[in-house]
Amino acid sequence: GCYLVTNDVLKAIESEVRKYKIGMCNLFLQHTSASLCLNENVCREVREDLTMALDHMAPESLPYKHTDEGPDDACGHVKCAVMGVSLDIPIRDGKLALGTWQGIYLCEHRVYQHRRSVVITMQGEK
């Protein structure tokens, strides 16, 4: 499923991001069967639709060769390759410059949730 993690990210960076007048924040997910994306952050149906579309695009039922960790392993890698594992979000006046309806999502492409790690780096003018 797709999980809205905007508040988790904001909490993790709150003391540091305030120091930047302008800059860039990079989020990098250290995994190959999950992804990050920006999408609409209000309506839960968006998350459900995104999960449904990804499952349709790369279903478990295809005859994948890589099944070492189960039938959801290879399709998870395919979804990750399409969506990506990093985001660059501008920093403006000490805040992430997200659009009004934009939220940060962690999309888990495995059936069973795994512990995921995100590396966050910021650079710019303080």
pLDDT band per the 50, 70, 90 thresholds, residue 112: confident
DSSP annotation of 12: H
Structure confidence by residue, pLDDT tens digits, 6-25? 999 999 999 999 999 999 99
Structure confidence by residue, pLDDT tens digits, 66-101? 988 888 999 999 999 999 999 999 999 999 999 999
